[in-house]
């Protein structure tokens, strides 16, 4: 339930930020991969960091209940993610970076030798809270110990890792969405043909086909781009 609520809150925050920060100033930074200066609101940086922390807390809590074939790849990706997330900084960054890797190493060793023990599954909320607290420490460090520009650069690099890893899932979900739409259209078409008189179904199809160019023209007239 908490996971669904987190996703809903993240989507709502995205919509609110898009509507409220249009044209407003933010933190300007230049990513390493593109030759362009970007601007991002501070609220977007905070919400994305909290979403990343919450997401990894869920993933790691679930991974410790799985076998080695699931846990070890997740731990390896988190190792890479942790290095990017901690990023650049002074003594505090070094302490958090080493401390987080030490915690991950201890959990990995403990998982290898005691993964069959039911203790991993007895206190999921405690484990989730521990992972979340570890991630939130880094979130605080990112905004407290660094300038806004450096924090934006680190977040841009950090968030690119889960974005790349999620591409196969989005492809699979896209295929399922297309299949679901085709199935729904087939059912609706069959029922509508049974309700309408002969010839009216063809007129309805023609009207639906005209919707697409009408919407496209409306979009072009609105902002000049697709």
Is the same domain home to 42 and 142? yes
**pLDDT score, position 39:** 77
**pLDDT score, position 121:** 63
Res 118 pLDDT > 60: no
Instruction: Give per-residue pLDDT as tens, 151-175.
Output: 787 787 778 777 787 888 888 888 8
Is the same domain home to 126 and 145? yes
- Select from 142, 165, 188 the last residue of a domain: 165
The one-character DSSP state at 117 is S
- Select from 165, 183, 206 the last residue of a domain: 165
Is the same domain home to 141 and 109? yes
pLDDT, mean of residues 193-201: 72
Is the same domain home to 143 and 176? no
pLDDT, mean of residues 38-59: 84
Which tops the pLDDT comparison, 86 or 206? 206
H helix or E strand, kind and range, residue 217: helix 200-223
18 token code pair:
């898009």
Distance linking the first and last C-alpha atoms of the chain = 37
Q: What is the mean pLDDT of the chain?
A: 76
In the structure, what pLDDT confidence band is assigned to residue 116 with cuts at 50, 70 and 90?
low
Res 98 pLDDT > 70: no
Is the same domain home to 18 and 110? yes
- Select from 165, 186, 214 the last residue of a domain: 165
Is the same domain home to 49 and 18? yes
Distance CA(121)–CA(175), nearest Å, equals 34
Is the same domain home to 177 and 148? no
Which tops the pLDDT comparison, 73 or 35? 73
Which tops the pLDDT comparison, 161 or 117? 161
Q: Which pTM was predicted?
A: 0.64
- Show the domain range for 70: 2-165
Res 225 pLDDT > 80: no
Is the same domain home to 203 and 136? no
Is the same domain home to 39 and 120? yes
Closest by CA to 10, choosing from 64, 60, 48, 66, is: 48
Is the same domain home to 161 and 185? no
Distance CA(22)–CA(73), nearest Å, equals 39
Res 95 pLDDT > 70: no
- The number of folded domains in the chain is 2
pLDDT, mean of residues 185-195: 80
Is the same domain home to 82 and 130? yes
- Of 117-121, 143-147, 163-167, the poorest mean pLDDT is in 117-121
Is the same domain home to 118 and 219? no
97 token code pair:
């970076």
């Amino acid at each position: 339930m908490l996971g669904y609520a987190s996703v809903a809150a993240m989507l709502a925050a995205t919509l609110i930020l898009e509507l409220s920060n249009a044209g407003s100033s933010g933190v300007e930074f230049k990513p390493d991969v593109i030759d362009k200066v970007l601007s991002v609101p501070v609220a977007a940086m905070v919400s994305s960091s909290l979403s990343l922390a919450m997401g990894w807390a869920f993933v790691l809590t679930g991974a410790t209940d799985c076998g080695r074939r699931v846990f070890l790849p997740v731990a390896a990706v988190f190792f890479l993610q942790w290095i990017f997330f901690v990023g650049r900084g002074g003594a505090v960054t070094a302490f958090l970076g080493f401390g987080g890797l030490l915690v991950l190493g201890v959990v990995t060793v403990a998982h290898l030798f005691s993964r069959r023990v039911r203790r991993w599954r007895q206190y999921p909320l405690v484990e989730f809270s521990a992972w979340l607290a570890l991630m939130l420490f880094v979130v605080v460090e990112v905004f407290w110990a660094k300038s806004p520009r450096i924090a934006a650069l680190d977040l841009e690099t950090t968030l690119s890792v889960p974005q790349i890893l999620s591409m196969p899932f989005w492809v699979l979900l896209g295929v399922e969405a297309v299949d679901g739409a085709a199935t729904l259209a087939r059912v609706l078409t069959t029922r509508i043909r049974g309700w309408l008189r002969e010839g009216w179904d063809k007129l309805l199809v023609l009207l639906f086909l005209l919707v697409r160019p009408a919407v496209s023209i409306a979009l072009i007239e609105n902002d000049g781009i697709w």
